[in-house]
């Protein structure tokens, strides 16, 4: 969410400011919520574990938690082989730090439904070997 909550593409040239605006979930749904998932606009994150830019920032759970509490329903995690057999989330080929995959997923479990009863979708960009999958 380092890239979703503070979008680098947002500016005077962007004619879709409302798409970038902070999501304010309704107390109760204002539309038919019985349709297939693909029929809805879903607030999502990109590199949700990064707390800043995609090249040098820290990884952690702060932006995952913040995004979920603001109504984000899609969390993206890039998963790589980590030390001691524990997979990590990091942005491969960069200078970003890493957070344990287990820590990131536990943050989703603990905070996923504070602001919305609707499903949380995890998109996992899997770079982990078979042993850590």
User: What pLDDT, on a 0 to 100 scale, did the predictor assign at position 38?
Assistant: 82
Question: What are the DSSP E strand ranges found in 63-115?
Answer: 74-80, 88-89, 99-100
Catalytic (active-site) positions? 46, 91
Residues 67, 74: Cα–Cα separation, whole Å: 9
Q: What is the pLDDT along the chain (133 residues), one digit of tens a residue?
A: 333 333 333 444 445 455 555 555 555 666 777 888 888 777 777 888 998 888 999 999 999 998 888 888 899 999 999 999 999 999 999 999 999 999 999 999 999 999 888 889 999 999 999 999 9
Dist. CA 9–CA 4, nearest whole Å: 10
Whether the full predicted model's pTM is greater than 0.85, yes or no, is no
Element (H, E) at 122: strand 121-126
């Amino acid at each position: 969410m380092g890239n979703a909550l503070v979008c680098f593409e947002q500016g005077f040239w962007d004619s879709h400011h409302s798409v970038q605006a902070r999501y304010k979930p309704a107390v109760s749904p204002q539309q038919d919520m019985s349709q297939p998932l693909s029929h809805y606009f879903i607030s999502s994150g990109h590199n949700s574990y990064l707390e800043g830019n995609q090249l040098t920032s820290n990884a952690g759970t702060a932006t995952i938690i913040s995004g979920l509490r603001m109504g984000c329903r899609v969390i993206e995690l890039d998963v790589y082989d980590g030390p001691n057999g524990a997979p990590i989330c990091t942005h491969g080929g960069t200078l970003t730090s890493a957070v344990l995959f287990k820590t990131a997923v536990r943050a989703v479990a603990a905070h996923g439904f504070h602001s919305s009863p609707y499903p949380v979708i995890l998109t996992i960009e899997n770079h982990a070997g078979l042993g850590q999958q």
